[in-house]
Amino acid sequence: MEYLEEYKKWCEGEEFDEETKKELLSIKDNGAEIEDRFYRELEFGTAGLRGIIGAGTNRMNKYVVGKATQGLANYILEQGTQDKGVVISYDSRRMSPEFSKHTALVLNANGIKTYLFDKLRAVPELSFAVRELGCTAGIMITASHNKPQYNGYKVYWEDGAQIISPVDKGIMDKVKAITDYKQIKEISEEEARKSGLFNIIGKEIDDRYIEELKKCVLNKEIIKTYGKDLKIVYTPLHGTGKEMVQRILRELGFEKVYTVPEQEEPDGNFPTVDYPNPEAKEAFKLALELAAKVDADVVLATDPDADRLGIYAKDTKTGKYMDFTGNMSALLIAEYRLSQLKEKGMLPENGMLVSTIVSSNLAGAIAKKYNLEFREVLTGFKYIGEQIRIEEQKQNGKKYLFGFEESYGCLISDYARDKDAISAVMSLCEAASFYKSKGLTLWDKMIDIFETYGYYKEGQISITLEGSSGAEKIKQMMENLRNNLITKIGDYKVLVFKDISKDIVKDMETKEISNANLPKSNVLYYVLENDAWCCVRPSGTEPKIKLYVGVKGNSMEDAEKQLETLKNDLRELVK
């Protein structure tokens, strides 16, 4: 068996250190563990790397990170852009500082200049720094909201967005071409510093980033008047958000900010949560307890790399804290910002709002109201970043005003090219101050939005199937759906079927076939009657198949009932 040969090589090869060998020899009698660690190589995909920390080809370790970095270095050298340099950041996860320094030194060994942050920083600041420093690429060491045993490696290109075609394929080909870990170049930190290749950055980028966020504030006077009394509970969930969130709120005049003490400091073990994800209600337990004590107006949580934001806000009628989905919080920000831009005469005629195909249809309704072009892209914020770049390169391109995806992430302006929970915190607190001046909470305003546009409600089901057998099962599920054309899902008739991998859009009534005009991806999408929809795709970063659904109801209760029914119907169909 090939994986046993690879295991033996790692246990005996001179290129592997003693600590690695010791870890692997400790599992010599555990065949299942050896197979899981070596049955495949941790794939460098369109999102970079993500996996469990440990020794082996299917794990996150310095050898796998080094191989990915050497492949990236070879690609950069081929492009001739090595002098522009690469900026590197990392979050609070275990091994993040070590992986980030190792990454810098491998690049340095290839003659590529690096700018490494002096300590952990959030994803959005990394995206901003790539553009601000004029670098050819950026690297973020993070596994986002995954469980503590994971870490990852995300690559950004010169526009500040995560890599897309053809760059992603070019880098992946270079990584695959490395067949021996001895091909990874090495250099000492001392030598790299002497040659001017290894550079540390920090406060100066922080300051520029904060100033850019301040430019996005629309109602500074409202914040001064009402923001100082707004009670905000915030948790960084042991991640990177603390310093920048506290700083931007403090400098704008928000005086009553209560940070959850047990979750305030960075800690890659995430001791107070099983899953450091602001999408999970359990992650808010301590924050909601603190909110009740201080009678908070709004409760906020960012994930470990601070690109996602979760929110609770008080319902005036019941006094209860109500949770927002990622769609709801993003579109609340969008409605606030667009309405204020319009009121101030600052709304451009050629504006655009960008979202993903698995996000809320409410986005299209809001875009229509403000006469914006509405664009839908594939899942992944890099595709939203791509739309910004495309329009920037045109002589009279569309002006990006807002973009979001359902997975709790948005970007309020074009200073960066990835979702930004720090600016989202800032915008929500600004909006909370504005609506407080009108006698409304953020939840009250959300209900007002639903009353205006309709009660749009979305949900997701993730089915985890781990290991090689799980990967095969997910593949089979997708093929079964693809090859058996579905005309009805539960009580909903299928109006349009989209197979993005085959670039096919089929009108189920007329049988007319057209193109999806999206990058090919393993995604199946069903447009249903009554403004409902479903989507199925494998996760790009986890061993999961993801099911997305959306409905539009006449009330919150009606929408929730429709949603649960449709979720169950789709789950049964996929089995």
Dihedral pair phi/psi, residue 240, rounded to 5°: -90, -5
Residue, of 40 and 541, whose pLDDT is higher: 40
- Model confidence pLDDT, tens digit, residues 75-116: 999 999 999 999 999 999 999 999 999 999 999 999 999 999
239 occurs within a structural domain: yes
User: How are strands ordered across the β-sheet holding 231-235?
Assistant: 256-259, 231-235, 298-302, 309-314, 321-324
Which DSSP category does 145 fall into? T
2 occurs within a structural domain: no
Whole-prediction pTM value?
0.94
Q: Are residue 172 and residue 254 in the same domain, yes or no?
A: no
What does the pLDDT read at residue 467? Answer: 82
Top mean pLDDT of 44-53, 322-331, 482-491 is at 322-331
What are the residues whose beta carbons fall under 8 Å from the beta carbon of 557, sequence distance 6 or more? none
18 occurs within a structural domain: no
Q: Are residue 285 and residue 345 in the same domain, yes or no?
A: yes
321 occurs within a structural domain: yes
Domain that holds residue 344: 209-453
Q: Are residue 324 and residue 439 in the same domain, yes or no?
A: yes
Q: Are residue 311 and residue 448 in the same domain, yes or no?
A: yes
Q: Are residue 443 and residue 470 in the same domain, yes or no?
A: no
Longest CA–CA separation in the chain, Å: 71
**Is residue 96 flagged as an active site residue?**
no
461 occurs within a structural domain: yes
Other C-beta atoms closer than 10 Å to the C-beta of 502 total 12
User: How many domains does one find in the chain?
Assistant: 3
- Model confidence pLDDT, tens digit, residues 357-388: 999 999 999 999 999 999 999 989 999 999 99
What does the pLDDT read at residue 46? Answer: 73
Please check the confidence at residue 541 and state whether its pLDDT lies above 90. no
Q: Are residue 180 and residue 220 in the same domain, yes or no?
A: no
Q: How far apart are CA 209 and CA 221, in angstroms?
A: 22
Q: Are residue 116 and residue 95 in the same domain, yes or no?
A: yes
**CA angle 366–123–191, rounded 5-degree value:** 155
Domain endpoint, select from 401, 436, 453: 453
- Model confidence pLDDT, tens digit, residues 138-159: 999 999 888 999 999 999 999 9
Contact between residue 17 and residue 34 where contact means Cβ atoms under 8 Å apart: no
Active-site residue, selected from the candidate residues 96, 100, 127, 144: 144
7 occurs within a structural domain: no
Q: Are residue 186 and residue 214 in the same domain, yes or no?
A: no
DSSP H/E element including 293: helix 285-294
Residue 508 sits in a domain whose CATH number is 3.30.310.50
SS3 letters for 161-180? Answer: CECCCCHHHHHHHHHHCCCC
Q: How far apart are CA 144 and CA 393, in angstroms?
A: 30
Top mean pLDDT of 121-135, 502-516, 536-550 is at 121-135
What does the pLDDT read at residue 539? Answer: 86
Q: How far apart are CA 72 and CA 157, in angstroms?
A: 11
Other C-beta atoms closer than 10 Å to the C-beta of 251 total 13
What does the pLDDT read at residue 540? Answer: 75
Q: Which class for 509: exposed (0-12), middle (13-18), buried (19 or more C-beta within 10 A)?
A: exposed
Q: Are residue 112 and residue 165 in the same domain, yes or no?
A: yes
Residue 112 sits in a domain whose CATH number is 3.40.120.10
Please check the confidence at residue 469 and state whether its pLDDT lies above 90. no
Q: Are residue 343 and residue 489 in the same domain, yes or no?
A: no
What does the pLDDT read at residue 43? Answer: 86
Other C-beta atoms closer than 10 Å to the C-beta of 18 total 7
pLDDT, the chain, mean: 95
Q: Are residue 378 and residue 356 in the same domain, yes or no?
A: yes
DSSP H/E element including 81: none
> Which of 2-6, 86-90, 220-224, 294-298 is predicted with the least confidence, judged by mean pLDDT?
2-6
Instruction: Give the N- to C-terminal CA distance of the chain in Å, as an integer.
Output: 32
Tell me what percent of the residues of the chain surpass a pLDDT of 90.
Answer: 93
Q: What average pLDDT score do residues 233-245 get? A: 97
User: Cis ω on the peptide bond leading into residue 166 (within 30° of 0)?
Assistant: yes
Task: State whether residue 282 is helix, strand or coil.
Answer: helix
Handedness of CA 105, 106, 112, 118 (dihedral sign): negative
- Model confidence pLDDT, tens digit, residues 254-267: 999 999 999 999 99
Tell me what percent of the residues of the chain surpass a pLDDT of 70.
Answer: 100
16 occurs within a structural domain: no
Burial 278-297 (b: 16+ CB within 10 A, else e): bbbeebbebbbebbeeeebb
Residue, of 560 and 43, whose pLDDT is higher: 560
Q: Are residue 346 and residue 444 in the same domain, yes or no?
A: yes
Please check the confidence at residue 12 and state whether its pLDDT lies above 90. yes
362 occurs within a structural domain: yes
Look at residues 205, 272, 215 and name the one whose alpha carbon lies nearest to residue 243.
205
Domain endpoint, select from 392, 421, 453: 453
Q: What average pLDDT score do residues 386-395 get? A: 95
User: How are strands ordered across the β-sheet holding 150-157?
Assistant: 49-52, 150-157, 137-141, 86-90, 114-117, 198-201
Question: pLDDT grade, residue 45 (50/70/90)?
Answer: confident
Domain endpoint, select from 453, 471, 505: 453
What does the pLDDT read at residue 542? Answer: 76
